[in-house]
Chains A and B, each alone.
Chain A
Amino acid sequence: MKKKILIAGIGNSFRSDDKAGLLVCDLVSDALTGTPFNSLLDIKKLSGEGAELIDQWEGYESVYIADASQVSGNPGKVTRIDASTTPLQSDYFHYSSHNFSLAEAVELARHINKLPAKLVVFAVEGVNFGYGVELSFEVQVSCMNIARNILNEIFYKPERINSLF
């Protein structure tokens, strides 16, 4: 039976803070390993290509997405957006292939009725998107907070979730 919850991280492992969404996936996966919660949800690392995103979240009731957002002077700042009800700004996220990325995918899916019932986006503001595999300290800390917040939202048992980290 298909699982009802998807946690998706978007990013590029070789572009520094752009890797943030992928780190959130790793943190959630590590936290759930060996627990009964592991079988309740899917975790996917994605490139952020818009058509792929719509395809990947199809069939899930609840989708949580973590992605890096553009630099605007608040490194590591986390923004939670309930994309089920709130439009995403197209210039907010780091650009991806052919300019059809997360924001466009969400808005396109909204028009063609392919948006999951619940879609929550956690965006963390990056510092450096240059070539490299290291994330900045502020973004790493924020990724841990995002992972914890996603699990809290899913399981509504903060004390149990905190014990996983």
Chain B
Amino acid sequence: MKNKTIKVDYLARVEGEGALFIKIKGGEVADVKLKIFEPPRFFEAFLRGRSYSEAPDITARICGICPVAYQMAAVHAIEQAFGVRVTGQLRELRRLLYCGEWIESHVLHLYMLHAPDFLGYQDVVQMAKDHPQAVKNALRMKKIGNEIMRVIGGREIHPINVKVGGFYRVPEKKELLDMVDDIKWARDAAVDTVKFVSKLDFPDFHQDYESVSLVHPDEYPFNEGRIVSSKGIDILPEEYDFNFIEEHVEHSNALHSKVRQRGNYMVGPVARYNLNFDKLTPLCKQAAKEAGMGKTCDNLFKSITIRAIETIYSCEEALRIIAQYEKPEVPAISYKVKEATGYAATEAPRGLIYHRYRIDNNGLIEDAKIVPPTSQNQKTIENDLRNFIPAHIHLPEAELVWKCEQAVRNYDPCISCATHYLKLHIERD
């Protein structure tokens, strides 16, 4: 089977509309294209002319799984433009909101979408026949993440309680304390999840990635920090455009990102882990050690383990925030609208998000730029497939297609965000 085309018309278990095309010629991979054909959604265009105050709610609509990350990047960028610094309990509440999003998103991906790949099931429905308790636990964990989002964000999907300067409403301490027992249960279930996924059979696939994520001096990054790479970048969010570029490629409606004058890079849980291992809690580090993980990881198939570790972190961080919480006197701090450009980067469950807004002196948005995680990972996903396929080229087509889809799902790609669905096509000439 020296020449062949493998085509997956709709990549399942990813968000959005896309396809994968792989051409094998003379026994070697000649071409790999992650084709994103979901139409562009033009969020950047229709933000123009709208009030800065609408941006957090509009950008939260980009994704139903990670709305908080978009919302946070928007408020942080606008606050930076206006010279506003949200600190204390308001900042802690924003981190708590993030904890909810990471828990629900990571649990959805690792149990419902990715674990079936490793265990040889077509989907989670088939997996549930043999692993009913694991699936029940996953649903309960996800519900707990959603509940945090509801209490802090006003609702579970597309939260509406965040505003420039803080929140519209801040919760009473009792509302948070009521979630503590459930979050402790979720933390213990996440520890069990790390043990569960660490026993999976991981392909021996190691790559020299350039990891890019936020790094903060005092905490595992959610919504603040410098943008750092494993190959030397260490910049403020406002320097993003000088170091990274987006380019259009014919086969994708999502722009491809790369490091200027260097090439592809990788964002997401593995990148965060590689650059922030020392900021994890002792329980996370212990779980990682028992799972056989080092301080860094160069096998993206193990991203499932890192998502589980980050779920432990999110639960512990939520418990820490709730324990020290005192209701702030005001839900938001005051600020003055001014003509300025603001920049921010935050960490969505599936990786770094960058936002930039130019605002006029009436508070209207003149220009917006939004860079989602999946568009940054597209080139790296294609590279992974180019390097992964040769060792598996002998496999029957159905099995090869399965492995390729699994490799794509390592990134938990959210194509809707990136264009704002997935088909696989392998061609052997």
Contact = CB atoms under 8 A, between A and B. Distances in A.
A, B co-complexed: yes
A99 B136 CA distance: 19
Interface stretch (A107-115, A117-125, A142-150): A107-115
Contacts of A50: 112
A100 B113 contact: yes
A52 B156 contact: yes
B150 to A, nearest CB: 11
Given A47-B157, A99-B13, A99-B14, A104 B125 contact: yes
A100 B108 contact: yes
A47 B64 contact: yes
A113 B132 CA distance: 9
Interface in B118-149: 123-125, 128-129, 132, 135-136, 139, 142-143, 146
A111 B128 contact: yes
B142 A97 contact: no
Interface in A38-57: 47, 49-52, 54-55
26 contacts: A47-B157, A49-B157, A51-B108, A51-B142, A51-B143, A52-B146, A52-B156, A95-B421, A97-B15, A98-B13, A98-B14, A98-B109, A98-B113, A99-B13, A99-B15, A99-B113, A100-B113, A104-B124, A108-B124, A108-B125, A108-B128, A111-B129, A112-B128, A112-B139, A114-B136, A114-B139
Contacts of B319: none
Nearest to B65: A97
A100 B421 CA distance: 13
Given A52-B146, A108-B135, A98 B65 contact: yes
A98 B136 CA distance: 19
A51 B414 CA distance: 18
A130 B129 CA distance: 36
B123 A112 contact: no
Nearest to B122: A90
A51 B109 CA distance: 12
Interface of B: 12-15, 64-65, 108-109, 112-113, 123-125, 128-129, 132, 135-136, 139, 142-143, 146, 156-157, 421
Contacts of A113: 132
B112 A107 contact: no
Most buried by A among B12, B125, B139: B125
Contacts of A108: 124-125, 128, 135
A110 to B, nearest CB: 8
A107 B12 CA distance: 17
Contacts of B139: 51, 54-55, 112, 114
Most buried by B among A55, A97, A108, A114: A108
Contact of B135 (A52, A55, A95, A112): A112
Contacts of B142: 51
